[in-house]
Amino acid sequence: MSTGPLAGLRVIDAATLAAGPLIATWLGEHGAEVIKVEQPDGGDPLRQWGAQRDGVGLMWKSLGRNKKCVTLNLREAAGRELLRSLTDRADVVVLNLRPSTLRRWGLDHESLAGTNPRLVTVHVTGYGAGGPKSDRPGFGTLGEAMSGFAHLTGSPDGPPTLPSFMLADGVAALTATYAVMMALYHRDVHGGTGQLIDVNLIEPLARLLEQQVLTYDQLGTVPARTGNRWDISAPRNTYLTKDGHWIAMSGSAPTIAMRALRAIGRPELTHDPRFAEAQQRLRNAPEIDRLMAEWIGEHTLDDAMAVFEEAEVAAAPVYDAVQLLDDPQVRARGVYPRLPDPELGEMRVQGPVPRFSETPGSIDHLGPELGAHNEEIYGGLLGVDAGRRRELQEQGVI
């Protein structure tokens, strides 16, 4: 039995791909029992998503950590009945089917709460409930586009730029995870009922980009792409070193910006109003960029970083995966533990974030094979006898 802070909490992960399953992954790292529901014919598409080794999806191995995997065909009435039996015994269910599909199948929150009023339902969709787009399929790429992220990302003379990782899904999942904890607090501390959490792939990311809306609302201007620069901070860019590496720098705090100028041997500029005063410094950001680029371009990565670290400048190397794993801070904190796995032998994945002093998260196992826990869940938790389980399997329900 888990000893994490969420021990005793049962979560049904009946969602697919990234955002919904991520919510369950994070809850499972901290003690919740997570039952992952997948279609019998292939399972969650996340299993085939991205890099593979010997036919095993690497991202699945990480996102499937600590989950008990069962197969269940929700297109069949018997499958939907089994899911309702699971949610009747659960605290949280995570779904990402279209709203009309949930209603048609009797899996909407109102129907599920009819037999389990304590249930917290997390419904992740592309656009959110209500409105003309509520029933359209949506993916993180569309959220990254519609939130304004792509509009602000990239070079000024280049196209809008999409991230090469699951940004919108991740931000939506983080938002929904803290929402689950608030809903459980309302239920368990304030004596309330369960409730529906409606989260989509646009609004959580748009919240982080709210400055563009505030600027337009109050000043009538639409922020444009500025590459790696940012119009609230200078210096702020990536700079190429003499030996072909990149350094990122941020001067968001005035004191840090002044340290950076002194570190490159230009202390006189800290008394120049063009650079010492915050708004003036932003107006003269191209000149500060030029000075930083010239100085860094004359130094190797190691030499430049030695100067910046001594001067306590906010600068860091731009890492690839190899450099990240080799960083002494990352190694000292054990960020990427090696874990055994029956399919891959062993695998490095990132450990739980954040870290708790009294109730640390844990990884008990990586993503299991499809249907690995059918007998435990259907036979043990739900009490379905062996004969009936064989029938359901023959009928393609499990």
- Is there a single domain that holds both residue 353 and residue 275? no
- For the chain, what's the residue count? 398
Residue 60's closest CA among 68, 48, 42, 72? 48
Q: Which residues on neighbouring strands pair with residue 37, listed in sequence order?
A: 70
Residue-number span of the structural domain to which 283 is assigned: 236-240+246-317
Q: Within a 10 A sphere around the Cβ of 233, how many other Cβ atoms?
A: 20
Over residues 312-318, the mean pLDDT reads 96
Both tokens assigned to 58 = 């690497």
Q: What is the rounded distance in angstroms from the CA atom of residue 21 to the CA atom of residue 66?
A: 12
Give 68's DSSP letter.
Answer: E
Q: Is 267 exposed, middle or buried (0-12, 13-18, 19+ CB in 10 A)?
A: exposed
- Is there a single domain that holds both residue 151 and residue 274? no
CB 260 within 8 A of CB 235: yes
pTM: 0.93
Give the SS3 label for residue 16.
coil
- Is there a single domain that holds both residue 22 and residue 156? yes
Residue with tokens 């004969």: 387
Residue 101 lies in a domain: yes
Give the SS3 label for residue 130.
coil
Give the SS3 label for residue 33.
strand
Residue 114 lies in a domain: yes
Task: Please say which residue of 286, 317, 348 terminates a domain.
Answer: 317
- Is there a single domain that holds both residue 89 and residue 157? yes
Q: Residue 232's pLDDT is what? A: 73
Q: Which of 169, 198, 320, 326 is catalytic?
A: 169
CATH of the domain at 101: 3.40.50.10540
Q: Where are the beta strands (DSSP E) in 245-398?
A: 246-250, 315-317, 338-341, 345-348
User: Does residue 254 register a pLDDT over 90?
Assistant: no
Can 157 be counted among the known catalytic residues?
no
Both tokens assigned to 371 = 């249907």
- Supply angle C-alpha 91, 93, 95, rounded to 5: 170
What pLDDT digit, counting tens, does each position of 119-161 carry? 999 999 999 999 999 999 999 999 999 999 999 999 999 999 9
In total, how many domains does the chain have? 2
Q: What is the rounded distance in angstroms from the CA atom of residue 135 to the CA atom of residue 103?
A: 12
Chain-centre distance of CA 262, in angstroms?
Answer: 38
Q: Residue 278's pLDDT is what? A: 79
Task: Please say which residue of 285, 317, 349 terminates a domain.
Answer: 317
Chain-centre distance of CA 202, in angstroms?
Answer: 13
Q: How confident is the model at residue 1 (pLDDT cuts 50, 70, 90)?
A: low
- Is there a single domain that holds both residue 283 and residue 341? no
User: Does residue 300 register a pLDDT over 90?
Assistant: yes
User: Does residue 2 register a pLDDT over 80?
Assistant: no
Q: Strands 52-53, 196-200: parallel, antiparallel or unpaired by DSSP?
A: unpaired
- Is there a single domain that holds both residue 177 and residue 260? no
Task: Please say which residue of 317, 347, 370 terminates a domain.
Answer: 317
Q: What are phi and psi of 51, to 5 degrees?
A: -65, 140
- Is there a single domain that holds both residue 339 and residue 313? no
Q: What is the rounded distance in angstroms from the CA atom of residue 51 to the CA atom of residue 346?
A: 16
